[in-house]
Amino acid sequence: MVHNQVSSGMHSRRQVVKKMGAATTVAGLTSIAGCSTSSGSTQTTLRFNVPTNEKSIQGKIPAWLKETVEEKTGGDIELDLYYNGELGGQVESFENLSSGTLDMFITGYSIAGSQYGPVAFFDAPYLYGDYDEMLQRADPNHSDVANRVVENMAEETNIRTIGIGIMGTRRLTLSDQAVYHPDDLEGVKVRAVPDNLMFETVNGLGAEAVNIDWSELPSALSTGSVSGQENPYNIVWNSGIWESQSYLMETNHLDQTLPVYISEHVWGDMSTSNQDLLVESMLETQTKALDELRSSLEEYKQKMGEELEIIEESELDMDAFRTSVRSRIREQFDSDAIELIETIHGGDYE
């Protein structure tokens, strides 16, 4: 985790937030400030924790959302962005969203499953045909199924999703070998996101999944404690992970969601008009993020191809990977989970 460095005698923004937390929640709003603007309306500043740096799509979405929502609300809602997980890790962030000591956060649905299990299955592997289908099936503003799950999550955890972006398509990288079939990965240790669904996805690819937090991944790859990992092109490149890897396989096993979460404590205290403007801003950001993801894909792939050997989808036994992964998911999760996956998928998940 990277924190802002401050000179002696000064407080980091995180320390300031901790000191202010009790005072700001007493009034029922978890905002840093609730002062009046020159127009007489109440200004709400929301603390938005971002796990990555501002260069990644996960970092750009909050910046675009900030610009749009502040313009639409005339400054009535301001977003205060904290990059590189300055306000805590992923598990801590969800706990703080639930309690109301954090206002907003962005990460995949699968990680939110630690708070509300069903929402994770919008990140099931080999689930969507393309990004457009993914938005129609996983965004609560487009899908009745997603809306129902999100409303249930908000009721049970005080965490709401206002809309989703797309992190990208996850692909496998390895340090010492190219693989073409799940059997080629037998005994190969591959980092998995510390989450049951993501862990079993890596096992389903044929590898030996190892739970490693994002912050520990560079060290694990450089020391060889794991041979590989899986992430979208943009994350592999911008994080520098590629420097310890030699092969990238376009297994395309997971089109990963990137929801924006808000604490129900702050959402419930917003006016209906500001709620609508926040969602409207998220939908505009969603379009911009998808355009950026698509337009940058070839650039990232070209850069990656200059550093790693890329094994394209056409060279892999994709039927074997898809069957192996889906079979693993069916074996490891109960009938309710599989029923939800098939509802999202719109058909059998075999």
Report the predicted TM-score, pTM, of the whole model to 2 decimal places: 0.86
Which domains does the chain carry? 13-167+256-295 (3.40.190.170), 170-255+297-345 (3.40.190.170)
- pLDDT (0 to 100) of residue 41: 59
Q: What is the DSSP letter of 41?
A: P
DSSP 170-186: EEEEESS----SGGGGT
pLDDT one-digit tens code per residue, 219-273: 999 999 999 999 999 889 988 999 999 999 999 999 999 999 999 999 999 999 9
- Residue 310: phi and psi, rounded to 5, are -100, 125
**Which residues, listed in sequence order, are joined to residue 310 by a DSSP beta bridge?**
248
Q: What angle do CA 255, 261, 262 make, to 5 degrees?
A: 170
Residue with tokens 């008009």: 273
pLDDT one-digit tens code per residue, 122-166: 999 999 999 999 999 999 999 999 999 999 999 999 999 999 999
Residue with tokens 């002062």: 35
- Extended beta strands in the chain, E state: 44-49, 77-82, 104-106, 159-174, 189-192, 208-211, 228-231, 247-263, 309-311
Residues present in the chain in total: 350
Report the chain's C-alpha Rg in angstroms.
Answer: 20
Cβ(141)–Cβ(279) under 8 Å? yes
- pLDDT (0 to 100) of residue 8: 31
Q: What angle do CA 38, 44, 49 make, to 5 degrees?
A: 140
Q: What is the DSSP letter of 123?
A: G
- pLDDT (0 to 100) of residue 52: 87
**Which residues, listed in sequence order, are joined to residue 36 by a DSSP beta bridge?**
42
- pLDDT (0 to 100) of residue 24: 38
Provide the token pair at 219.
């060290």
